[in-house]
Amino acid sequence: MIFAVPLYDDNPTVRPPVVTYFLIGLCTGAFLWQLGQNEHRIVFTYGMIPAELFGFWHPPRLYQVLPAWVKILTSMFLHGGWLHLLGNMLYLWIFGNNIEDVLGRGRYLVVYLSCGAVAALAQAFSSPYSHIPMVGASGAIAGVLGGYLLLYPSANVHCFVWIVIFFRIVNVPAWTMLGLWFAVQLISGLSVASGTPGVAFWAHVGGFATGLILVSILRPSGVPLLQPPRSRIFASAPPSAFRSPRARYRGSVPPAGRRPTRPPSPWG
């Protein structure tokens, strides 16, 4: 048996990721609220339904609480189960803080919501007559992953790897993890028949591509793309070796240090 899960990256930040924490809290709070509701009613009332969005179908009047276009936003904060929520929040926690730190809180929130909206539209256009509701933050988070890959492709992500009875922490470069993830989403989207229930692969592809574009445009001047590695990739160690804070924060990219001052901006 082989099991692997990312734990954290070694890419330091300057400012606390307030928006990232807020988004995690909002998604978690929404999911806890969902647990006390009728699941079918929630996803059809607040989930994005392609056929409804394009006017090809309308849900029963009981579910027509919001305009169809508003559900593009509300669907980003709902999830289909604990694993769906925890997986999304883990990736947002690992990679979102660095994008927020670089862009500033205002720009970061714009990128996050824009990627989520484009992701929903990409999924809708891939199956415009589908009556299946789409929920989840993964399209917006895919945009965060795209931006991270553009800025920090060589940053190491510490992954917990379990192979039968062996446990290791392995440094995996972001370009390997995120590049492979995107390739799987693209191939799966091309392979799965349109309208098939399950993972919204085209939402992931659309969000990821949007993140690449927006981060390249909105990043502050002086922030380089494709920053180089600073430590050995694919190094491994037993989990006990990473208990020390010094070991945990030994970076694969340069320490953030003092950020160059920028003129005041309404974007944060």
Q: Where are the domains of the chain?
A: 2-248
pLDDT, residue 198, reads 87
Report the percentage of the chain scoring pLDDT > 70.
88
pLDDT, residue 247, reads 47
pLDDT, residue 35, reads 96
Chain segment 153-212, per-residue pLDDT in tens: 999 999 998 877 788 889 999 999 999 999 999 999 999 887 788 899 999 999 999 999
pLDDT, residue 138, reads 97
CA distance 179 to 260: 30
DSSP 261: P
The number of helix segments (H) and strand segments (E) in the chain equals: 10, 4
- Note if 154 is an active site residue: no
Among the options 126, 127, 138, 252, which is catalytic?
138
Among the options 204, 216, 221, 240, which is catalytic?
204
Below-50 pLDDT ranges, the chain: 245-258, 260
CATH topology of domain 2-248: Rhomboid-like fold (1.20.1540)
pLDDT, residue 162, reads 85
pLDDT, residue 243, reads 58
Chain segment 231-249, per-residue pLDDT in tens: 677 777 777 665 554 444 4
Strand order, beta sheet including 156-163: 2-9, 156-163, 166-173, 236-237
- Note if 40 is an active site residue: no
Does the predicted TM-score (pTM) go above 0.75?
Answer: yes
